[in-house]
Copies of this chain bind each other. A is one copy, B any other.
Amino acid sequence: MSLSMYSASAPVFTRGLGNMLTWLDKAQAHAEARKFDANNYLGLRLAPDMLPLTRQIQITSDGAKACMSRLAGTEIPKWDDTEASLDELRGRIRKTLDHVQSFSAAQIDGSDARAISIPMRSGDALNFSGEAFLKHYALPNFYFHSCATYMLLRHAGVELGKADFLGR
């Protein structure tokens, strides 16, 4: 008995992305209660040399999108990073959910042995088996940027707790 590559990927991204929608709803409610523009969140950074909230969400989206396509061996769709409002970021998350859910288990299962090669800006590539890619690259990368998003909102005063991170 074991985990399938599909069950270890799609449902994890689906839950994580759904949780992010909840955080943005809570952030919006917090902004309305405090009477500030909810789009003020978009440029927040935890440190001046870290990426702002908008990029954290876009990279979370990109990671889930690319992971599913790479495991299935299909082309990764290219999405422009044009989101300029909380609503547009919600749309980006929903588009990512649709992409994740467009794959069947049959397309992903068996990808543990698939050779995955990620081109780097340097011209080199990171090479993984599908299993190592999912466990040691795609999932930690997804959690890193989603957690950065959570911590930014939490630091900004939004009423979030760990249950909002874990979701249901």
Interface set of A (CB-CB < 8 Å, partner B): 1-5, 7-8, 11-12, 15-16, 46-47, 50, 109-110, 112-113, 131, 134-137, 139-141, 143-144, 147-148, 150-151, 154-155, 157, 162, 165-167
Min C-beta distance of A125 to chain B, whole Å: 15
The 7 closest A-B pairs by CB, nearest first: A147-B147, A143-B143, A2-B2, A3-B3, A151-B151, A1-B112, A1-B110
Which residue from B11, B136, B154 sits with its C-beta under 8 Å from A46? Answer: B154
The closest CB in chain B to the CB of A165 belongs to B144
Are A140 and B143 in contact (CB-based, < 8 A)? yes
Are B141 and A7 in contact (CB-based, < 8 A)? no
